[in-house]
Every structure is written in structure tokens, then in C-alpha cells.
A and B are shown apart, each in its own frame.
Chain A
Amino acid sequence: MFNSCADPASLEGLSWLLCYLTTGKHMLFYGSFLVVIALMLITAPTALLFGFGGAMAARSHLLPLRWLGKAYTSMVRGIPDIAFFLFVPFALDQGFEYLRHKVKCPDWDTPVRQGNDFVVCAQAKLPLSSSPQWMHEAYGFSLAVLAFAVVFGAFAANVIYGAMQAVPRSQMETAEAYGMSRRQAFWRILVPQMWVFALPGLSNLWMILIKATPLLFLLGVEDIVYWARELGGSKTSAYAYPHPDWRLWYFIGLLAFYLSLTKLSELVLTRLTRRLSHGQATMAGEAQRRTA
């Protein structure tokens, strides 16, 4: 990065450290923090969407839809995360490729499964073998987002389902008495009031999501844990910057990162709870009304 870093062997002390911390590999490490934050920011709303859909399905009046909602939440919640993460992205990837294979290469005569091998035609590969590496990484990242969203969506569905049940029945009865249809009562009365009941559960999920991001590493996305381990490991003179085992320092860095992230989240969530309680028929809402 700096001109003075051209010959690492001649450097000492602080200038060595400065050059060491600005190598291309360290830049990738710093970049991976953004990847983790992006993952959380994309996954959270997606999971919320899955959760909302799941909760709505579980409350549906149509029996098959209700079954679907219940089956989704209970199945996903019952499977260990690691097993789920090892299976789902692989299955999704092969499923997508199989479908593309059927569409793009209809006259392919050899089987897709040959012994242990999964072979689709070159045009059906996702992404294509010839696409640049960043597309492969983006694809892996989106599979990860999808897997995270499905898992956390199932938990969110349960939380939201419970929150919807917690809204006092009399609120809905009053809405109906005013002549609102079921749909109107749902969107105008139930949904705005349920958030305050859902928030404690959802904030828990957000915290767990933050802590679950190192699972990315299982999916082949090079996240902060991968780079911390890779950079911290002892290095021989095959590398330009040899050093002993420094994993401790890198992991302390990760600790600080995760702690500050959870602390920040707590601050935001506390403010959000206060806002959502405003004007609600709950104890917190009542307390706010009295002090005002």
C-alpha cells in the first residue's frame, strides 16, 4: 500500500506493523467486516418477512395453509442450525442447477448423478464456471442469506404468532363493531399493536443472529472468523511478514467487534421499545401516559 512497504524484511517496529496491517490480505480481512454487517442487514428484514408470512399462514382459516405455517415453524426450529446450514445451501444449489439443466440442456443424455458426482451441463452451472470470482462469492453469499432467513424466519414466525395472539381480543371486537372487515381489522388494529409484544422476542433473535454470523464460514463465505484464523496463525518465512501465533490478538479484536455491535443493538432496541409502547394499552404505554 505504501511505497516504504516494498521490502518488508528491512522494516522494524512501528513501520513494520503499519505495513503488516495494510497488506492486501488485511484489506480482505477489513472488507469481511462489511460482509458480516451486510449479511445481518439483509437477513434481518428477509427473516422478518419469512416470519410474518409464517405467522399469517399459521393463523389462516384455510387448513392446508395453516398446516404449512405450523410445519415450517416446528420443522425448522427442531433441526440443529449446523445440520441445517450444511444441508440447505448444498440442496438449494443443486436444486437450482438441476432445474436450469432441465431447461437449458433438454437433449443431454448422461445422468445428472454419476456415482458420487453431480454433473450438469456447462450452461446450467450456477454461476457459470467462466464467470468472475466475485459472482461466485455473491452467489454463495445469497445462498447464505437465504439459509439464515429460513432458519431465523421460523423463530420469528413463532414470536410474531404469539404477539398476534397477545393483542387483547377486545381490540379486535371493537374494530368489528365499528364495521371493519377482517382484513381491515388485521392490518389497522392487530398489526400495529402486535409489534410491541413481538419486540422482546425479535430483539433476542437479532442478538442471536449477530452471534450466529460466524456460521457463514461453514458455507464457504470468507468471513471475519476465517480471516482472523488465517491471519493469526503462525507464519514462516514463506510469507513476507513472518510472525508467531497471533490468533489471540485477532480473536480479541473480534470479541471487541461483537461486543460493541451487541451494545449498539441494545441501545437501538431500547429506544425502539419506548417508541412502540407510546399510546399502547400496555403497562409501559400506560406508564408513559402518566408521566406525560
Chain B
Amino acid sequence: MKKLILSTAALALTAGMALAGSHATTVRMGTEGAYPPYNFINDNGEVDGFERELGDELCKRAELTCEWVTNEWDSIIPNLVSGNYDTIIAGMSITDEREEVIDFTQNYIPPASSAYVGLSADADITGVIAAQTATIQAGYVAETGATLLEFATPDETVAAVRNGEADAVFADKDFLAPIAAESGGELVMLDADVQLGGGVGLGLRESDTELKAKFDTAITSMKADGTLNTMILKWFGADAATY
């Protein structure tokens, strides 16, 4: 009887440890799911895009089990710090303001251009400019003195130009390029690129230093063997900036 109790106790203990072990390795990846080709929800209803492929590869290299979650852009930082998911992987540029609240890994996309898209090549970039709320582009437009028109989703910023509400939209060039190219001449990329931010990195809680180190190592290894460059070229086209 004593032996039975002992072995059940031992079993319970190991089971408990195994359970604790599995907790530690499930990382919830938070993304927006509305910013193709960075991240979007594909027609099967799953998260897809450059960041999905990258994130899965990073998790494989860091030996983590990852689960994908989508969250509104507006509340993506508050939900990270309150622990609803563990990383932000949503095309988020590394900026000083964000560094005060969360931590970033090293960048996985080099500092890239932001661009304007309007209905014609002579659209007024000092007029009404649409940008997504709480992005570096929105901050920049506010500084240039143009009238800023903010929207919750990237798609709405483009729609605002199409229906004449805004003169132009200001966003990451990699996001706007396919939209302008496939609009059949309706939308035109303006020749006024701006360099903003310190590249795109993974956002993490400041207290999560261990996880940050793991992702940093994985990104370094992907930069070293060239797989990151291949991935960038695959999703953003041959003109994209690489490492």
C-alpha cells in the first residue's frame, strides 16, 4: 500500500513537471492579420503572410511551440503587456516611444521606405493624408503639417483615398506597392518616399528577457544563413531591402 502511494505521488509529481514544462514552451504570437503581405488572414481563415512564415521558422529554430492569435492594432500593445499573448509580430517598426513600453528584438526587416499613394501623380501630400492610427506614419504626417486622417485598419486608409475622402494614403511602401500595382491605374505611387523607424522587430514584454534572447538568436541565425533574405524577396519582391 505504501509503495502504491509512493509511486502515485511520484507519478503525479512527474506529470506535474511535464505539464509545467509544456506551459513554458507555448508561445502565443500576436498579430494584426490585416496588413498584406506582412500578415493577413487567408481564405481559409488562417494567419498567413511573410510574418507567419518567418514566425514559424523562428519558433522551429528556438524550439518553441507557437500559437497564432490576432488582435486589433489599436490594442495590440496593451494586450501584450497584460499577458494575453507573448509576442507582437505585426510589421511593427522599432521606435523610441514603443521602446518605453515594450522591448524589441533586433530587426527582421531592415529600415524600409514609407510611401504616399494618391489618385494621380500630382496629389497634394500637404493636404488630407490618411494613415493608420498609432503607426509611425501617422506620427510623421502629424509632424509634416498635413491634415491627418486616422483609421483603425490599413484597408480603410486606402479606401479613403479611393472615395476621395483623403488626397493620399501614407503607409509602408511594401504594403502599398501591390495595391497600387493591381488597381488598374486608379491609384498611383507618388515619388516622395520617406525613411522612417529602425526596421521591424518582434515586440515582447520588458520582463520577458529570456524569450527575447531566444528570438534574437534565431533571427541572427536566419540572417547568417541567408534564409531571411530569401523570405523577404519572396514576399516583398525583388526590389525589397535585404541584409
Binding site for B on A (CB under 8 A): 8, 23-25, 27-28, 90, 93-94, 97, 110, 114-120, 122-123, 125, 128-130, 133, 136, 220, 222, 229-230, 233-234, 236-242, 245, 247
Residue contact B162 to A239, C-beta cutoff 8 Å: no
Residue contact A220 to B79, C-beta cutoff 8 Å: yes
Residue contact B83 to A120, C-beta cutoff 8 Å: yes
Smallest Cβ-Cβ distance to B24: which chain A residue? A122
Please name all residues of chain B whose beta carbon is closer than 8 Å to the beta carbon of A237 when the two chains form the complex: 178, 182
Residue contact A234 to B153, C-beta cutoff 8 Å: no
B144 is an interface residue with CB less than 8 A from chain A: no
Residue contact B83 to A233, C-beta cutoff 8 Å: no
Please name all residues of chain A whose beta carbon is closer than 8 Å to the beta carbon of B155 when the two chains form the complex: 229, 233-234
Residue contact B86 to A220, C-beta cutoff 8 Å: no
Residue contact B86 to A24, C-beta cutoff 8 Å: no
Residue contact A220 to B71, C-beta cutoff 8 Å: yes
Q: How far is the CB of B26 from chain A (nearest CB, A)?
A: 4
Residue contact A239 to B43, C-beta cutoff 8 Å: yes
Binding site for A on B (CB under 8 A): 20, 22-24, 26-28, 33-34, 36-37, 40-46, 49, 65, 67, 69-72, 75, 78-79, 81-84, 86, 101-102, 153, 155-156, 158-159, 162, 178-179, 182, 205-208
Smallest Cβ-Cβ distance to A238: which chain B residue? B36
Q: Which of B22, B75, B162, B206 contacts A130 (CB 8 A)?
A: B22
Residue picked from A130, A245, A247, most chain B C-beta under 10 Å:
A130
Residue contact B45 to A28, C-beta cutoff 8 Å: yes
Query: Known contacts being A24-B43, A220-B79, A241-B43, is A117 close to B69, with CB within 8 Å?
Result: no
Please name all residues of chain B whose beta carbon is closer than 8 Å to the beta carbon of A122 when the two chains form the complex: 20, 23-24
Smallest Cβ-Cβ distance to B48: which chain A residue? A238
New A-B contacts (6) at CB < 8 Å, excluding given A220-B72, A237-B178:
A94-B82, A117-B83, A117-B207, A130-B22, A237-B182, A240-B42
Q: How far is the CB of B37 from chain A (nearest CB, A)?
A: 5
A94 to B20, CA, bound (A): 21
Q: How far is the CB of A234 from chain B (nearest CB, A)?
A: 7
Q: Which of A27, A90, A128, A229 contacts B45 (CB 8 A)?
A: A27
Q: Which of B34, B72, B178 contacts A236 (CB 8 A)?
A: B178
Q: How far is the CB of B153 from chain A (nearest CB, A)?
A: 7
Residue contact B36 to A233, C-beta cutoff 8 Å: no
Please name all residues of chain B whose beta carbon is closer than 8 Å to the beta carbon of A24 when the two chains form the complex: 43-46
Q: Which of B28, B43, B82, B205 contacts A93 (CB 8 A)?
A: B82
Residue contact A123 to B45, C-beta cutoff 8 Å: no
Q: Which of B40, B41, B86 contacts A129 (CB 8 A)?
A: B86
A241 to B44, CA, bound (A): 11
Residue contact A245 to B159, C-beta cutoff 8 Å: yes
Residue contact A239 to B20, C-beta cutoff 8 Å: no
Query: Known contacts being A136-B69, A239-B36, is A118 close to B79, with CB within 8 Å?
Result: no
Smallest Cβ-Cβ distance to B159: which chain A residue? A245
A114 to B205, CA, bound (A): 10
Query: Known contacts being A24-B44, A236-B179, A239-B42, is A116 close to B83, with CB within 8 Å?
Result: no
Please name all residues of chain A whose beta carbon is closer than 8 Å to the beta carbon of B43 when the two chains form the complex: 8, 23-25, 239-241
A122 to B23, CA, bound (A): 6
Q: How far is the CB of B198 from chain A (nearest CB, A)?
A: 20
A-B contact pairs, 25 of them (CB 8 A): A23-B43, A24-B44, A25-B43, A93-B82, A117-B208, A118-B82, A119-B83, A122-B20, A125-B23, A129-B26, A129-B27, A130-B22, A130-B65, A220-B72, A220-B75, A222-B70, A229-B153, A233-B155, A237-B182, A238-B36, A238-B37, A240-B42, A240-B43, A241-B43, A247-B159
A24 to B42, CA, bound (A): 9
Smallest Cβ-Cβ distance to A247: which chain B residue? B159
Residue contact B82 to A128, C-beta cutoff 8 Å: no
